[in-house]
Structure 1
Amino acid sequence: MSANTPLFAEADTLYGRMKATCQQDWHDYTYHPFVQGLADGTLPETCFRHYLQQDYLFLIHFARAYSLAVYKADNLEEMRFASKSVDGILGEMTLHLDYCREWGLSEQDVISLPEARSNMAYTRYVLERGMAGDILDLYTALSPCAVGYAEIGFRLKNDPNTLREGNPYWKWIETYGGEEFQEGAKAQIEKLDQLATTRYNAGRMDSLAQTFREATRLEIGFWQMGLDCSF
């Protein structure tokens, strides 16, 4: 691997090994028609607005999930890492509302929207895995989003076939393909490996891989919800 290769491309991390167990699902997630519509600018804007509103509601529960990680942590270092993630998400939510305004959506428009069933299914699954399992289970359930968006953003930003000029979604691509989000994904992968040093054994792989796969499938459902403008 070259020094410029993103960590999510490495196969020997726990993240890489879990991803390898669900390659078709991962492809269906990262190359979903919604994603491809972002890349070439053909995604209907009504679909994107629906996604933006649901994504804000999604972030509320992801902040709760990382708050749960503070509780599940065994030491101050783990607590600080999770707390920093909570702060990051809460800050991202403010930026998300600013971005929504650029799309003609007020804060009231966003918070008054009913939560879609696919949104509820995904976020409650992540919280359930965190409550039923340990912090490694929780971070595993979080990683298809926390790292997967970085993978998608990196690919779209660096793909010469991605439409840049005149693409209404280029700012979204730049955000998730940008250095800040890439660094956050790298930290998430490293945290999984760090947690695995004391919490992982070969007998856990099937369970962790199942959690990772189910979260990936729920990500597919989230994209489809955006594409269908469904509740």
Structure 2
Amino acid sequence: MPRWETDFGAEGGLFRRLRAAAGADWAGYTWHPFVRALSDGSLSLKGFQTYLIQDYLFLIHFARAKALAVVKGESIQAMRDKAAAVLAILDETKLHLKYCAEWGLSEADVIATPESAETVSYTRWVLDRGLHGDILDLEIALIPCTVGYGEVALRILADPARKVAGNVYQSWINTYGATDYQAMARAAAARIDALGESHGGEARFAKLAADFAEAARLEQRFWQQGLDAGGGIVGNG
């Protein structure tokens, strides 16, 4: 069994059950043509730049969602953890702008770009789930992003078609394949398992599974906008 099926969440836990229930939606997200193009280096530069800009705009709302998790937190420790996560994401936005600069995108370019329809639909949906639900509803909406990127990296690293030498996207692959990111993704999946136990995940499974699958579909559309902007897969860089 591949690592990405066993590294995140406990056997029989809520995260793995949600992942299994999502089926093709989850696979379509974590092994999307955009991801495969990162792996073999065939993604167009324009496609990657489009993704980077929208990912920055996404991060802003991701921070807002984590701030909402402070409000929804089930304990003082959970509130502290989520407050720390908000600060970490805000710091990440600065790093993201520096990374964008390495790809020919100035801070002014990034900030001046409007949010795409895909970014708006995804981020507002996440906030809506948090506003109208409890901490488990909110974290189910968020978890496909956090753990999904960890799985994406593991899939790429195991891909026989991966371009190892001279892949211009190796720095991106390294970020999500790194030990610290993988540990964070495992901890996030474990938290979903714990919240499932404490917040009646079994009784609510059908709704949680629907939300998890919807987040995976929104992630697919987020990838797809990069491919569309870049004219598809047109060659390395």
Q: TM-score with structure 1 length normalisation? A: 0.94
Cα deviation for residue 24 of structure 1 reads 0.6
Corresponding residue for 2:234? none
> Deviation at 1:135?
0.3
Say if 2:10 and 2:16, in contact at 8 Å, map to a contact too.
yes
Residue 188 of structure 1: aligned partner = 188
Matches within 5 A, 1:122-161: 122-161=122-161
Amino acid in the other structure paired with 1:111? I
What SS does structure 1 have at the residue aligned with 2:204?
helix
Alignment of 1:1-231 (within 5 A): 7-8=7-8, 10-229=10-229
CA offset digits 1:115-158 (Å, max 9, x no partner): 00011000001110011000000000001101000100122124
Change (3 A) 1:36 1:176: same
Q: Partners in 2 of 1:32 and 1:76 — Cα distance?
A: 38
Q: Could you tell me which amino acid in structure 2 is paired with residue 104 of structure 1?
A: G
The alpha carbon displacement at 1:31 in A equals 1.2
Partner amino acid, structure 2, of 1:122: Y
Distance 1:10 1:154 in 2: 18
Provide Cα deviations, 1:19-59, integer angstroms capped at 9, x if missing partner. Answer: 11111111111111110100000001100000000000000
Give SS of 1:155's match. Answer: helix
Matched residue type, 1:63: A
Q: Which has the higher contact order (CA 8 A, sep 6+)?
A: 2
- In 1, the alpha carbon distance for the partners of 2:155 and 2:84 equals 26
Amino acid at match of 2:27: H
Task: Provide Cα deviations, 1:57-92, integer angstroms capped at 9, x if missing partner.
Answer: 000000000000000012111101211221221122
Instruction: Give aligned-pair identity as a percent.
Output: 48
- The amino acid across from 2:58 in the alignment is F
Matched letter for residue 55 of structure 1: D
Secondary structure at the aligned position of 1:46 is classed as helix
**Gapped regions of structure 2 (runs ≥ 5):** 231-237
Alpha-carbon distance between aligned partners in 2 of 1:222 and 1:36, rounded to the nearest angstrom:
15
Stretch moving more, 208-217 or 179-188: 179-188
Between the aligned partners of 2:171 and 2:14, the Cα distance in structure 1 is 31
Distance 1:211 1:27 in 2: 16
1:185 deviates by: 0.5
Aligned-residue CA RMSD (Å): 2.0
Post-superposition CA distance 1:96-126 (Å, at most 9, x none): 1111010011111111101000110000011
- Structure-2-length-normalised TM-score: 0.91
What amino acid is aligned across from residue 98 of structure 2 in structure 1?
D
Q: CA separation of 1:178/1:158 partners in 2, compared to 1, >3 Å: closer, same or farther?
A: farther
Once the two structures are TM-superposed, the CA of residue 4 in structure 1 deviates from its matched residue by: 11
Q: Distance in 1 between matches of 2:5 and 2:117?
A: 37
| Partners of 1:49 and 1:103 within 8 A in 2 | yes
Shift of 1:166: 0.9
